[in-house]
Amino acid sequence: MSAPAISAHNLDLTFQTGDGPVHALRDVSLDIPDGEFVSFIGPSGCGKTTFLRCVAALETPTGGTLTVSGMSPDAARRARKYGYVFQAAGLYPWRTIGKNVTLPLEIMGIPRAERAHRRDEVLALVELDKFANKYPWQLSGGMQQRASIARALAFDAPILLMDEPFGALDEIVRDRLNEELLALWARTSKTTLFVTHSIPEAVYLSTKIVVMSPRPGRITDVIDSPLPRHRPLDIRDTPEFLAIAHRVREGLRDGMQAA
Ligand SMILES: Nc1ncnc2c1ncn2[C@@H]1O[C@H](COP(=O)(O)OP(=O)(O)OP(=O)(O)O)[C@@H](O)[C@H]1O
């Protein structure tokens, strides 16, 4: 069997700050097999972003072990094992959508023809193929987030890290992007780590839901979703869906009480 996409054991992270130590993650152990869609949900400040940043080698844990595709996070970063989608789309306003998407490929030194090919492919995946020559300000917020997903997909990394990518969008746009993201995940089968504050979003998207407690962030529950992989939006009204949402809510409440 190949190594899990992500494997964390007793992960700890304490930030040293001017006001004293901030214990952001405590004893986080989690294995994520290849191809799963895993949501992280928990109160603000519980370390969700910090965990993603550890996976991306942007933070160094102060204890425990973490492997990404069977290697150290730093080696995984150098091997370009992940794409990262941030809370804000973070597109460069002076570059077209197409040129935003190809920027990481330019930095990697990928030849022009190959860049153009990958740009067309990923823009088609997020249904923005007609917008390659537009500038970010000419697109809606939801389209900008899709462009930022395309940029993260451009170098075809096996892991996609998404930090609350739809948090700033209204519910209707968010619903549509949730549906599109599931379809995209089904087509690409990338291992996805997705941070959210929304219980319905976590339950709708995920094969596994990781519930975290307030700081220091611990895992209070890991729920393997019994829902089928194909999920129309109205699955959210089914008793199965509501039962998982209830369990997430309980997990969040238990974490708050224990804190
Ligand atoms: N570089 C840093 N230096 C000091 N403290 C930090 C640093 N980065 C994060 N923290 C602290 O660590 C804790 C966890 O932060 P993190 O951003 O991971 O939480 P989060 O669960 O993603 O929150 P939110 O849902 O609000 O985005 C917070 O208390 C935060 O203030």
Q: Do you know the residue count of the chain?
A: 259
- 138, part of any domain: yes
Its pTM stands at 0.91
- 192, part of any domain: yes
Please state, in angstroms and rounded to a whole number, the distance separating the CA atoms of residues 239 and 241: 5
CA-59 nearest atom, ligand 1: 1
Q: Per the structure, how many domains does the chain have?
A: 1
- 9, part of any domain: no
How high is the ipTM of this complex? 0.94
Tokens at 31, concatenated: 């294995």
CA-46 nearest atom, ligand 1: 21
Sheet holding 82-85, edge to edge: 82-85, 159-163, 191-196, 37-41, 208-212, 219-224
- 209, part of any domain: yes
Q: Is the CB of 215 under 6 A from ligand 1?
A: yes
Please report, for residues 4, 43, 57, 117, 198, the alpha-carbon distance to residue 30 in angstroms, rounded to integers and kept in the order given.
10, 19, 17, 37, 21
- Which CATH number goes with the domain that contains 96? 3.40.50.300
Q: Is the CB of 5 under 6 A from ligand 1?
A: no
Parent domain of 176 = 35-50+88-159+168-258
Q: Whose CA is nearest to atom 23 of ligand 1?
A: 45
CA-16 nearest atom, ligand 1: 4
- 25, part of any domain: no
Q: Where are the beta strands (DSSP E) in 18-91?
A: 20-32, 37-41, 63-68, 82-85
Per-residue pLDDT of the chain in tens (259 residues, 90 and over written 9): 577 899 999 999 999 999 899 999 999 999 999 999 999 999 988 999 999 999 999 999 999 999 999 999 999 999 989 988 888 778 999 999 999 999 989 988 889 999 999 999 889 888 899 999 999 999 998 899 889 988 988 888 899 999 998 887 788 888 888 988 898 899 888 999 999 999 999 999 999 999 998 878 889 999 999 999 889 989 999 999 999 999 999 999 887 776 6
Return the number of other C-beta atoms located less than 10 Å from residue 170's C-beta: 10
